Homo-oligomer: A and B are copies of this chain.
Amino acid sequence: MKGSVGEAGEFGLIRELTSRLTTTPAVRLGPGDDAAVVSAPDRRVVASTDLLVEGRHFRRDWSTAYDVGRKAAAQNLADIAAMGAVPTALLLGLVVPSELPVAWPSELMDGLRDECQVAGAAVVGGDVVRGDTITVAITALGDLRGLEPVTRSGARAGDVVAVTGWLGWSAAGYAVLSRGFRSPRAFVEAHRRPEPPYHAGPAAAGLGATAMVDVSDGLVADLGHIARASDVRIDIRSRAIDVPSQMNDIGQAVGVDPLRWVLTGGEDHAIVATFPRGTKLPARWKTIGEVHAPSSLPSVTVDGAPWTDQSGWDHFSDIEG
């Protein structure tokens, strides 16, 4: 469909967007009615909402609409997985300027659809309105399949801390992009399109994870959420964390300790969890620390000492990229 969203009109745009969607058996009623109907076999539904605003969470000159869609879906579906649930559905609220080409929301929808397919979910509904700033509001739903949700508050002294997925790749890619470079490609791609380990969330719940989050604000910051909610201290062993050699090279090139990206970079949506000591973890989980009783130290320490770098970021204090 050519032309602008203003030319397409509300119903024309909605037709174009919904025509791009695929479905799953969990979708009992898809887009086009007052509401969608989605299977919730567990008799509980897990739900999470996130917003992305142009200029703050994405830039059209850095990311294609397709990549923004992949990323927007990924960050929400990762929240579902980090509760131990299997993602089932996604709803989209979209603010678009009327002069925006229809191709942009169409490719955004393709990205949402494809990321949903990776996670086993489907886009089931949404709303599109006109406004000055592109804003993408996503709600993801999921099913617990009989497992208890893994919250932030269950970590106990003696538990081990383990992580799966990518850490610091998006932040390193952001550092590259913000200096005007487009490579190394793997890191730029990681910034544009995270790859959360969706399957690992429900698997961790099945293995008895005591607390779990997806890493969206940075490893130290997100473990801080667990530490405070569980009233424990979490210590990370920096030597247990692998820094890829290419990330070291970027760090040297831009004058940044790459450990900073690994410890404070968000947006890769790795999954970090605490497990009872002795839990046999699958190969792609890496044990990176331990849970301790609270002390006078900060709630998260690195090698037993406070981490002095900026930990994570405040959505209100700076652009995220």
Q: Which residues of B contact A44 (CB under 8 A)?
A: 28, 37-40
**Interface size in chain A (residues, C-beta < 8 A):** 72
A93 to B94, CA, bound (A): 12
Could you tell me if B47 and A38 are in contact, using CB atoms closer than 8 angstroms?
yes
A49 and B9: CB pair below 8 A?
A: no
A49 with B125: CB separation less than 8 A: yes
Most chain B CB neighbours (cut-off 10 Å) among A44, A50, A85: A44
The answer to whether B34 touches A93, judged by C-beta atoms less than 8 angstroms apart, is no
CB distance from A130 to the nearest CB of B (A): 5
Is A129 at the interface (CB under 8 A from chain B)?
yes
**A34→B213 contact, CB < 8 A:** yes
In the complex with contacts A29-B151, A51-B95, A79-B129 CB distance below 8 A: no
Contact B98 A316, beta carbon cutoff 8 Å: yes
A35 to B34 alpha-carbon distance, docked (Å): 24
Does A17 belong to the interface (CB within 8 Å)? Answer: no
Residue of B nearest to A85 (CB): B35
Interchain nearest-CB distance for A319 vs B (Å): 10
| Separation of A140 and B127 alpha carbons in the complex (Å) | 13
Once bound together, how far apart are the Cα atoms of A9 and B129, in whole Å?
Answer: 28
Whether, in the assembled complex, A41 has its beta carbon less than 8 Å from a beta carbon of chain B, the answer is: yes
A316 to chain B, nearest CB (A): 5
Binds B, one of A131-139, A170-178, A284-292, A293-301: A131-139
Point out the residues of chain B lying under 8 angstroms from A141, CB to CB: 45, 47
